[in-house]
Structure 1
Amino acid sequence: MSLKPAVSNTDHAQGNLNADLVIVEYGDYQCPYCGAAYPVLKELMNQFGSQIKFVFRNFPLSEMHQYARAAALAAEAAALQHKFWEMHDAIYENQRSLNEHLLLELAKELKLDIPQFKSDLEGSELKAKIDEDFESGVVSGVNGTPSFYVNGKKFEGGAEDLFHLVGADIK
């Protein structure tokens, strides 16, 4: 399966934004497998971020994970204040205590404008962005989280296997 739509400026990306190697993760902030992949991906980007454009798309499995959608909304609301990756990391680093109260605490720790953050959480714009990410995952063949795409093609390995793409073995 291939990635639809292709990566664009509406995606959250980090690393080398002009890299030839583009990795897209469809993730759920409450998924334990995504939580386990997070430190591996962090290490991958620490070592090889200059060679990789890493993109995160929301794929909250709301029926299984009570707070997945709320967490995705919180990350998107943080993005409006230019703190997407900071919130993304904070959610995964506190995944075991995830609830709506924690999301507000993280927003305060990141020094977000809280009234603006709360207002953005209620708006339809962020809900639409998450729904668009989710729909793109469905048409791209995502059947669980995390799901990875490398240069537009579905990657059948786990986070650890991504190290082989840059010619490195995980330590």
Structure 2
Amino acid sequence: MNDDRNHSSLLVPPSTQDHIQGVLSAKVVLVMYGDYQCSRSANVYKLIKVLDRELSASLGEDYLCFIFRHFPQAQIHPHAQRAAQAAESAATQGQFWLMSDTLFNHQQKLENGYLVEYANDLGLDIPQFLKDLPKQVHVDRINEDIEGGIQSGVTTTPALFINGIRYIGHWNTMELMAAMIAASH
């Protein structure tokens, strides 16, 4: 087995276990490894959301499948791991994407009190949320995402894979859109 850490392929294929917007059979499957406290992750996440709306409107709902995987960099972002746990707790209540939007929009405020406030604003079951966080019930899921990212050569965030191939272009609308359209042909 080749243990090349510089490869550019996604080694953990997208599945129904992932957090998915769209359908896995889409022409373009975009996997993002992100960190809720990383400003570049927030910018790319927001860019993808805009592109998703544009592509869905012009090319159809089944054109893009967006998958988010956790890659908290705890050594430089002390609140990223807990934020990922909050997102996973929200996921169990069907609110993963709304919590992710909130976390990226408020990434300067990711301490525990704010996480509870965000959960409350989303209408989550707060007693359940408060049980989940301290027990770290979702840490295995987050660690699986991290391990999959490491296997695929991810060392920092954000990291994108378009149809299984690492995206190494610039983080702007035109280049990312062009890469996705090229991947769909």
* TM-score greater than 0.5 by the shorter chain: yes
The aligned residue for residue 133 of structure 2 is: 121
1-structure distance, mates of 2:38, 2:134: 23
Note the C-alpha offset of 1:167: 4.3
Q: Which runs of 5+ in 1 are unaligned?
A: none
The aligned residue for residue 29 of structure 1 is: 36
Among 88, 96, 101, the residue aligned to 2:113: 101
Among 86, 91, 97, the residue aligned to 1:79: 91
Note the C-alpha offset of 1:15: 2.6
Q: Is the 8 A contact 1:58 1:130 kept in 2?
A: yes
1-structure distance, mates of 2:81, 2:170: 23
Question: Which SS does the other structure have where 1:97 is aligned?
Answer: coil
Matched, 1:135 2:147: yes
2-structure distance, mates of 1:101, 1:41: 28
Q: Is the 8 A contact 2:34 2:72 kept in 1?
A: yes
Matched, 1:10 2:10: no
Matched, 1:53 2:65: yes
How many residues align structurally? 168
Q: Which amino acid is 1:117 matched to?
A: F
1-structure distance, mates of 2:21, 2:74: 26
Q: Is the 8 A contact 1:58 1:133 kept in 2?
A: yes
Q: Is the 8 A contact 2:162 2:180 kept in 1?
A: no
The aligned residue for residue 44 of structure 1 is: 51
Q: Which runs of 5+ in 2 are unaligned?
A: 1-7
> Which of structures 1 and 2 has the bigger CA Rg?
2
- Percent identity over paired residues: 40
Note the C-alpha offset of 1:46: 1.2
Question: Which SS does the other structure have where 1:42 is aligned?
Answer: helix
Q: CA RMSD in A?
A: 1.6
The aligned residue for residue 70 of structure 1 is: 82
Cα distance per residue 1:18-60 (max 9 Å; x no partner): 3121000000000011122232112111111421000000000
2-structure distance, mates of 1:116, 1:165: 41
Q: Which amino acid is 1:162 matched to?
A: L
- Pair 1:122–1:97, CA change in 2 (3 A): closer
